[in-house]
DNA sequence: CATGAATGAGTTTTCATTCAT
DNA sequence: CATGAATGAAAACTCATTCAT
């Protein structure tokens, strides 16, 4: 229970830095402080290790996102909660999130299908909010799809630069992104006044701790 | 002159699909229709092939972006031109752009430093526009850095979904992104009325043609 | 402990026959009865395998030679003991000795420097004996350096033709070489009467056994 | 006629330094100042280039050695002439001689047989002289074969250390070796007084010029 | 004569994985 | 649980050689 996280954290750290394909199983063992053969006690293969990490990451994103949407029936508040959740998760688990995003291509067809399904489920949360906001007249945009994609891309980008000890607190970043999202969708930001739509983000087991790594590219 | 593009296009296609590390030199040869050993006539190593591709991509992005900024002294028009250039390039050369972005980590330290320098040069174009727009009071945002990063991230995301034969023309997409950019920076979009800030994007030699590949992840 | 000798013996056998550069790692594995990849458990590289062999060979030559010189303070007896040791070692470990001599050039600069140092240490034993013998008037020659080199070259040549089951016993060969050495240096052979200056030579772990190979060239 | 020597000299230089197997055809071209493909105008293969060099070297050694033996019918004078010739040739063509000796093993069976035949022919000159000198009572040794081998080995060793600009002139070295040979065979050196048994050595076309290379090993 | 381009077979080394201990 | 040893397959890269120009 404690060791498996160590392995997953080592995996995420190295996969994020170098990519799945460029990371060897021996390297993983070394980073986790165990013999490389021992990894096969925790995961049947290198790919399964990646799948474990991706699945728990996407599961948590979906769970948090769905919970965020349940705090209100108002599209604008749902949008704020969802964007906050997304940005919060991404900023809190930057390496895991990055791996879950980048390494889809490393999966074999079966696993890829399964993981893509989870990602699609997650993205559909955004699609639902945007679509309903437009339908009820709270949002307005030239192109709903493009707006949604831009929204997510932006939020995901947080993983590239956010640092807990940086210039801005996480909450500031979240508010900022909510503001940008509202602008993009021409939503009325004042609807959010006095609403506490931010939930503290979960730290997933696979996220390395104490590593302030700079990942380039 | 014709062969080297063929090799580069094969490289970009496979690097974009599978990643640099997961692409073999034999695979590259096969995709380019030549013996794998022949690749070493065009590039001293697999990494050098990647560097060639990245360098020409980043060079072109910088050239186009700098040219875009010269069409006017108005920050809003510069912003529109720069965003259009970025989106246009990314949509026209999605695979090359993707490789140039994703595979920075695959480079050895020396090459990485050199390529990162080019990317920094390019990003500084955005920083300059945003900073000047704010200074002269044409733009307004809670956080300039975050806005700039969101702007670029958004535009880069185009490579993930834009298809020439898709629902929207490139020009529509460009206008749309310019609109979103203006919203994010609270810029006055009417300043763009009647201004032709879009230049046709260049197709770089390494961009595969006739491939409507779907890249996931 | 048993396997590493097997690998080293295979290496020495093939390196002696064909040379280091002309011997493949697969060939080595085949000769040692193991998979070629397994060789990398015993040595980090093909060159390291060579270094292992050379180092243990030269270490043993130095140890034996130094011991030989300690059996007496008389230059003539030291000469006899050193020549016997050299000839004995070379005849007992012909392939290893040959590899240690011929393949110096196959080493990378760092390893070459280290191995050359060992060889220089060994050769200096001969230089010391010859020099002291001349100084105290026991030896006489037109040119000390040339005599020493000729002495060593001669002895090393034993590896090219000596066979344990040949016409002469090892002890006969040793006595013969001692006689030639004395002639070259005009030393008084009668000083050796009744002196037992021959020690049984050591068989190094890398010397192939049961192989009556003819090495040409 | 001028170019073929250049190629052969480059070959000898590199083969002596690194060995035949470790020398690439491109490297040879580079050292000879021509394209690697052009080498195939001068020799049908890398091995043929080696054969050319070895054959002309051994031919010249046999010719010179045979001529040396014709200067007298006296075994002692023949010995002096043959040893002088051997040492002279080896010191004058150290790299070529070294290649001809070391790289026999690099040859394919057919070529090896042919070259070994030449070497055997050459060695038989020494065998003849020693045998006849013993038969007529001019020489005396415990073991004729061993003496002959030691004699040749010693002389060949000259290639390892002799330098034209060194401490000793070639003639001094030759006289020295003749003296050592006489000692080994207990021949009467005074028989050589006043006899001019030294012929100036030939420089073979393949011997690199102006290169004072140190070859280790 | 000379060469740049090309290639199939080869090189050393690393890979993910298995298994006896 | 943990590991050192082992391995077949594959990695990137180099090889000697050919040939059209």
pTM: 0.89
B177 Cβ under 8 Å from any chain A Cβ: yes
B27 CA to E16 C1' distance (Å): 20
Q: How confident is the model at residue B171 (pLDDT cuts 50, 70, 90)?
A: very high
Reading phi first (left if > 0) and then psi (alpha if -120 to 50, else beta), residue A19 is in left
Cα separation of the two ends of chain D:
33
pLDDT of residue B68: 97
- Residue B110 buriedness (CB in 10 A; 0-12 / 13-18 / 19+): exposed
pLDDT of residue C2: 56
For an interface test with B, the pick among A58, A98, A105 (most B C-beta atoms closer than 10 Å) comes out as A105
Write the pLDDT tens digit of every residue in B198-211.
999 999 999 998 75
Mean per-residue pLDDT over chain D, rounded? 93
Write the pLDDT tens digit of every residue in C143-202.
898 889 988 988 888 988 888 888 899 999 999 999 989 999 999 999 999 999 999 999
**Residue B18: other Cβ atoms inside 10 A:** 16
pLDDT of residue D64: 98
**Residue D183: other Cβ atoms inside 10 A:** 17
DSSP reduced 3-state for D6: helix
pLDDT of residue B217: 41
Distance CA D114, CA D119 (A): 9
| Mean pLDDT, residues D1-27 | 92
Q: How confident is the model at residue D2 (pLDDT cuts 50, 70, 90)?
A: low
| Mean pLDDT, residues D147-167 | 88
Q: How many CB pairs under 8 A join A and B?
A: 104
pLDDT of residue C22: 97
Which bases of chain E come closer than 7 Å to a protein CB?
Answer: 1-19
DSSP secondary structure string, B13-26?
A: HHHHHH-STT--HH
Write the pLDDT tens digit of every residue in A16-68.
999 999 999 999 999 999 999 999 999 999 999 999 999 999 999 999 999 99
Size (chain B), residues = 217
CB contact under 8 A, C183 and D179: no
Helix (H) / strand (E) containing A191: none
C106 Cβ under 8 Å from any chain D Cβ: yes
The residue ranges of chain A whose pLDDT is under 50 are 215-217
Which residue bears the tokens 């920083």?
B127
Nearest CA-CA partner of B148 in B156, B159, B160: B156
pLDDT of residue D169: 93
pLDDT of residue C210: 73
For an interface test with C, the pick among D23, D24, D91, D105 (most C C-beta atoms closer than 10 Å) comes out as D105
Write the pLDDT tens digit of every residue in C118-127.
999 999 999 9
| Mean pLDDT, residues C13-38 | 96
Diameter over CA atoms, chain D: 59
Residues 117-156 in B contacting A (C-alpha not used; CB under 8 Å): 142-143, 146-147, 149-150, 152-154, 156
CB contact under 8 A, D146 and C176: yes
| Mean pLDDT, residues D184-213 | 91
Is the pLDDT at C1 greater than 50? The verdict is no
Residue A154: HSE in the Cβ half-sphere, 13 Å Cα cutoff: 28
pLDDT of residue D217: 43
Write the pLDDT tens digit of every residue in B90-145.
999 999 999 999 999 999 999 999 999 999 999 999 999 999 999 999 999 988 98
Sequence-distant contacts of C27-32: CB under 8 A, at least 24 apart: C32/C3, C32/C6, C32/C7
Nearest CA-CA partner of B9 in B31, B30, B26: B31
pLDDT of residue B209: 87
Mean per-residue pLDDT over chain C, rounded? 93
Is the pLDDT at B167 greater than 90? The verdict is no
Closest nt by CA–C1' to A48:
E16
pLDDT of residue A195: 95
Token pair in block for residue A121: 């489920």
B46 CA to F12 C1' distance (Å): 8
CB contact under 8 A, B102 and A160: no
Among the partner residues B102, B150, B172, nearest to A180 by beta-carbon distance: B150
CA–CA min distance C67, chain D (Å): 25
A213 Cβ under 8 Å from any chain B Cβ: no
Q: Rounded to the nearest 5°, which phi and psi values hold at A57?
A: -65, -50
pLDDT of residue A217: 42
Nearest CA-CA partner of C178 in D143, D36, B76: D143
pLDDT of residue A39: 96
A37 CA to E18 C1' distance (Å): 9
pLDDT of residue C211: 58
Residue D177: HSE in the Cβ half-sphere, 13 Å Cα cutoff: 32
Is the pLDDT at C213 greater than 90? The verdict is no
pLDDT of residue D216: 47
Distance CA A69, CA A88 (A): 15
């Amino acid at each position: 229970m404690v060791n498996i996280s160590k392995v997953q954290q080592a995996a995420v750290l190295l996969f994020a830095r170098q990519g799945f394909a460029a990371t060897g199983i021996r390297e993983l063992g070394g980073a986790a402080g165990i013999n490389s053969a021992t990894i096969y006690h925790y995961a049947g293969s290198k790919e399964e290790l990646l799948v474990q990490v991706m699945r728990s990451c996407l599961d948590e994103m979906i769970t948090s996102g769905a919970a965020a949407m349940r705090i209100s029936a108002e599209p604008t508040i749902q949008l704020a909660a969802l964007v906050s959740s997304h940005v919060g998760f991404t900023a809190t688990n930057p390496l895991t999130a990055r791996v879950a995003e980048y390494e889809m291509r490393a999966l074999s067809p079966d696993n890829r299908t399964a993981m893509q399904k989870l990602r699609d489920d997650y993205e559909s949360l955004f699609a639902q909010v945007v679509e309903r906001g437009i339908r009820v007249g709270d949002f307005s945009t030239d192109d709903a799809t493009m707006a949604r994609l831009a929204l997510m891309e932006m939020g995901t980008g947080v993983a590239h630069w956010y640092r807990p000890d940086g210039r801005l607190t996480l909450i500031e970043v979240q508010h900022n992104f909510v503001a940008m999202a509202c602008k993009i969708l021409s939503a009325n930001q004042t609807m959010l006044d006095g609403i506490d739509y931010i939930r503290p983000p979960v730290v997933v087991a696979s996220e390395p701790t104490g590593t302030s790594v700079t990942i380039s590219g």
